[in-house]
Amino acid sequence: MELLIQGIIEALRLIVTLDREVLSITLLSLKVSGLATILSVLLGMGGGTALALSDFPGKRILVSMVNTGMGLPPVVVGLFVTLCLWRSGPFGFLELLYTPWAMVIAQCIIASPIVMGITIAAIQNLPPNLRLQILALGASRLQLYLLLLREARLPLLAAIMAGFGGVISEVGAAIMVGGNIKGQTRVLTTATVMESGKGNFHIAIALGLILLLLCFGINYLLTVVQQLERPR
């Protein structure tokens, strides 16, 4: 209990004093996870909508693969990205390993199946005749996609929250591809693990609380938007 109280006090001190290192770590966490979420939304919603509206042999297998990817172990993603970005790997010439971009790539791979899986379910849950009605009004393929996404906006906002939650709290892949380098790739999750390993539990608790507050703040804003979009 004493450690928890010390952690809360330390968290308040770090927040009030705008500690430079903690602020840098927090901003990098937002930058990496935010960019990864945006990319995963573009890939996941686009691919999920196309997959939901398509009909071809093997579709069930592909959808099953997407659903399996929703629970993809981050360490497996980290290993795959590391091997691809390694000096002798296929993309080693890009020299992205142990950079924030490597973390963005790994987190995007983690979040994309989550967003895609929820998008597929949301689009398939729309009234079957809605697609035919939109096409009958002369809508193009792009307009069809956009209108269907608009109709499914409530579960899609949940998909964004799920995708963001999956990457902002991720630690395994971030350490593997980022290296937890001070001032370059250290984010809130990896810093928390490092401080715990060093026995600095009050700092680890403080960083954990800041991470929780950050997650709550972002998800609260998205929830407000979602609730405002509810039909009256």
Q: Cα 104 vs. chain centroid, distance in angstroms?
A: 9
Predicted confidence (pLDDT) at residue 231 exceeds the cutoff of 60: no
Across the chain, mean pLDDT equals 87
DSSP collapsed to 3 states, the chain: CHHHHHHHHHHHHHHHCCCHHHHHHHHHHHHHHHHHHHHHHHHHHHHHHHHHHCCCCCHHHHHHHHHHHCCCCHHHHHHHHHHHHCCCCCCHHHCCCCCHHHHHHHHHHHHHHHHHHHHHHHHHCCCHHHHHHHHHCCCCHHHHHHHHHHHCHHHHHHHHHHHHHHHHCCCHHHHHHHCCCCCCCCCHHHHHHHHHHCCCHHHHHHHHHHHHHHHHHHHHHHHHHHHHCCCC
State the pLDDT at residue 41: 94
Q: How sure is the predictor about 39, in pLDDT bands with cuts at 50, 70 and 90?
A: very high
Please determine, for residue 228, whether its predicted confidence score (pLDDT) is greater than 80: no
* Token representation of residue 60: 């069930």
User: Looking only at Cα atoms, what is the longest distance across the chain?
Assistant: 67
pTM: 0.89
Pick the CATH number of 27-192 from 1.10.3720.10, 2.40.50.140, 3.10.310.10, 3.50.30.10: 1.10.3720.10
Domain boundaries, the chain: 27-192
**65-103 pLDDT tens trace:** 999 999 889 999 999 999 999 998 899 999 999 999 999
Query: Sorting pLDDT into bands at 50, 70 and 90, what band is 232?
Result: low
Q: Residue 198 has which token pair?
A: 């060093």
Asked whether 78 and 175 are in contact (CB, 8 A), the reply is: yes
